[in-house]
């Protein structure tokens, strides 16, 4: 999968998680944060972001 596709997929997944959170009814903030962490704290996603924006990569 190309970097652009991986980042776009993660953004779409995160939007879905947030959309479910703001719907009327019971909310579980802890689950929402955990779901977002699962999506965003992904080594492949981090590598894709660094590929698209090399300046975002920490200096070693």
* Residue boundaries of the structural domains of the chain: 3-56
pLDDT value, residue 42: 97
pLDDT value, residue 1: 87
pLDDT value, residue 59: 86
The DSSP symbol for 39 reads: H
Could you tell me the mean pLDDT of each successive run of 10 residues in the chain, 60 residues long? Answer: 97 98 96 98 97 92
What does the alpha-carbon distance between residue 43 and residue 49 come to, in Å, rounded to a whole number?
10
Q: Which residues contact 9 (CB under 8 A, 6 or more apart)?
A: 1
């Amino acid at each position: 999968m190309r970097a652009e596709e991986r980042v776009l997929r993660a953004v779409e997944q995160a939007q879905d998680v947030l959309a479910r959170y703001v719907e009327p009814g019971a909310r579980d903030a802890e689950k929402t944060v955990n779901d977002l962490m699962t999506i965003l704290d992904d080594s492949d996603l981090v590598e894709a972001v660094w590929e698209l924006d090399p300046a975002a990569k920490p200096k070693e």
